[in-house]
Structures are given as structure tokens and as C-alpha cells.
Amino acid sequence: MPGVKSCVFANRLVAYHETFAPLGDQHKKKYPKQVMSILWHEGISGRSAANVTSAFIKAISMMAEDAKDIVIWCDNCAAQNKNWTLYTSIARFMNSSADIVPQTVTLKYLETGHTFMSADSFHAQVETNMRRKKNVFNFHDFVTVEFIAKSKAYQRYNTYYFDESDIGIDDFYAFNTTCDQIPRCPPNSIHRNTINNITSCYTFHVGALSWKDAYHTCRKEGPWSALVSVESQQEQDYLTGVINADTALSSAGQFGFFTSGNDLKSEHNFVWTDTGSARPVKDIFENWHAHQPNNVGGVQDCLLLEYASDGYTWGDVDCVSTHPFICESSYTN
């Protein structure tokens, strides 16, 4: 019929999997490096040079946290690893204003023909687990299989997803136990019951860390643990009371306590990030100190329970500065 388009529906979904695997026998090392996996499917994007390049840039930016000089071994697939889209994108990234940029990035290529690389071993593990699972019905099933291939008890691992035109990071922590055996609250936490049958558990850390390190420390405390989000005056008063009642906490409080609040993504738009999704602070509860936030030097992006003499009203500070912090996990009774 004129003006009517034809549509074809297939019973499969093509998934793409770009892997950056460390060289050598990592299982024999005291501090093994982690496999970095970047996943997406055809409903999100394709497998053009631009798509693969985006995966490379994200991988390089994460590697730069631990290394100044990065060497990546590639096979000779021109469409994927040997093209001007990749080269110019890396050059642009190296000269960008990103927070963490390596000093050098070197791409090395193996001889043309069939090659065996570290990533191939990991891909073999993924294929083995796909056969064991048997029923891989959707993208989530494939992601689960990929996790199993590289997970160990209490080992942290990262998987990166394409999100629209870029890649977002999602942190996962594996616990070697069944769900009903995982404690609702971390050990030695302080419990607070609210009127809506929700119990919040807090752990107070007097050791000073950067916001990022504090974030990861809280995530490791349990499946539902994260940096605290202060969502009411009652919660603010409760935390202040706990701090003031303890000598060690009061002493640490002179340096303030990190929360999950930040405006890293959008200046002046602070959000709580404890649940993984950003929730605007201004829509929930605010308790800023006078003339705060003021973003001194243009680098203050993290929310601190800062002013002890004023009931720990809030201020914004540089996220790389180090402070004590509070972790929180909640559950419904």
C-alpha cells in the first residue's frame, strides 16, 4: 500500500561486547587487574567505528585512574581498531579538559591473521556460561552471564553500558551468599525507625577519604548501602544528635561529613545519588548554611555536613578533599 512502510520483526537481539583484558596470569597476582567489559545492544546503538571508539575512550579514561602511560594491544581489524575515527578521538580526548587524562596512549597491533589475545580467554568463559544457562532470552540475561564469567566472592567488578550517545558506569558487588542470608544492615550500624515503617541504618566513619573513595567504601558495606542522603529535618536532627553524643564523632565532625549529595553532572543542581538515580535535593529537603553553596574556585561539587556549630548545616566542598563520612542503608519493616 502506498505510504505504508514494511517492518520485519526478528526473534533475536544482537548484543555487542567490547572487552579490555589485562595481560598475564592475573589469578596468580596478589592484586589482580580487572577485566573491563562494555556492553550494548542493537536497540541502543550499532557497531560502527564511532560506537567502538566511544568504548575505547571510556576504557582509557578509567585506566587513567591507575596508570599514566597506557598501552593497548589490538588485532588488525581496520574497521574496529585501526581507523581515523579512533585515532582522532583519542587525540581529542588527550587534549581535552577531562579530570583524568593519561600522559600517553599507545596502540600496538598484532600481525594480520588469526590471533589469540587475553580477551579471547574471557570470551570463552562467557560462551561457556551461556551454554550452561541455556536460556538467554534477553539482554539482561546476557549481562548476567557476563557477570558470572568474571565474578568471585566479594570481588568488585565494573560493567559499562552505552547510555544514549555515551557510556555510563554501573558498579556491582557480588556477595557469596543467598539473598535471604544477606544482613539488612552492616555490622555495628546505628538503627533509626521512622513513622512510615522504614528502618535506616547508619555507619559513621571518622577516617577521612575523598568523596569517590567514601562512595565506594559505603557500597562495599552491603548491597543496599551508600553514602547518606539527608531527606528531612528529623533525619538531620537525628544525625546531629548521634554525632554530638559521641566524643570521637564530635571531634571528627569539625572536618564535616560527606553525604551522597553532589552537583557533578550539572552545576548548581545538587542531587542525592544513594539509589543510583539522581534525585534533586531541592525537591526533597535543603539545609544549607548561610551563603552556601558558593562553589569557591569553581571546584566545590560535593555536599558536606559542614558547620558543626550550626547543627551541621550544609556546605559544598571539593570532592577530592578528604573528610569523614556517613553511610546509610534502608529497608521497609
Dihedral, CA atoms, 228, 231, 232, 234, nearest 10 degrees?
-30
Q: What is the pLDDT of residue 167?
A: 35
Q: How far apart are CA 126 and CA 35, in angstroms?
A: 12
**Above 90 in pLDDT, residue 198?**
no
Q: What is the pLDDT of residue 124?
A: 72
**Cell numbers given for 190:** 546505628
Mean pLDDT of 305-311: 95
**Above 50 in pLDDT, residue 161?**
no
**Above 60 in pLDDT, residue 177?**
no
* Better-scored residue on pLDDT, 2 or 285: 285
Q: Are 141 and 54 in contact (CB under 8 A)?
A: no
Mean pLDDT of the chain: 77
Distances (CA, A) of 276 to 226, 269, 273: 9, 16, 5
Q: What is the pLDDT of residue 281?
A: 94
* Better-scored residue on pLDDT, 174 or 140: 140
- CATH class in words for 181-332: alpha beta
Q: What's the pLDDT band for 252 if we cut at 50, 70, 90?
A: very high
* Segment 208-249, tens digit of pLDDT: 999 989 988 898 888 788 999 999 999 999 999 999 999 999
Q: What is the pLDDT of residue 147?
A: 58
Q: What is the pLDDT of residue 208?
A: 95
Q: What's the pLDDT band for 162 if we cut at 50, 70, 90?
A: very low
Please choose, from the candidates 203, 184, 157, 201, the residue with its C-alpha nearest in 3D space to the C-alpha of residue 20. Answer: 157
* Segment 105-122, tens digit of pLDDT: 888 887 766 566 667 776
* Segment 124-145, tens digit of pLDDT: 777 777 777 666 666 666 666 5
Distances (CA, A) of 77 to 39, 57, 74, 262: 19, 18, 8, 41
Mean pLDDT of 250-261: 96
Q: Is 190 exposed, middle or buried (0-12, 13-18, 19+ CB in 10 A)?
A: middle
Q: What's the pLDDT band for 203 if we cut at 50, 70, 90?
A: very high
Q: What is the pLDDT of residue 14?
A: 74
Amino acid at 239: L
Most distant pair of Cα atoms in the chain: their distance: 80
Mean pLDDT of 54-82: 78
Q: Which residues neighbour 161 within 8 Å (Cβ) at sequence distance 6 or greater? A: 38, 39, 40, 167, 168, 170
Distance of alpha carbon 125 from the chain centroid: 24
**Above 50 in pLDDT, residue 164?**
no
For cell 597506557, what's the residue? 70
Amino acid at 245: A
Domain boundaries, the chain: 15-173, 181-332
Q: What's the pLDDT band for 178 if we cut at 50, 70, 90?
A: low
**Above 80 in pLDDT, residue 47?**
no
**Above 80 in pLDDT, residue 204?**
yes
Mean pLDDT of 19-32: 61
Q: Which residues neighbour 145 within 8 Å (Cβ) at sequence distance 6 or greater? A: 126, 129, 130, 133, 136
| Domain range 15-173, its CATH number among 3.40.190, 3.40.1800, 3.30.420, 1.10.3470 | 3.30.420
Percent of the chain with pLDDT over 70: 70
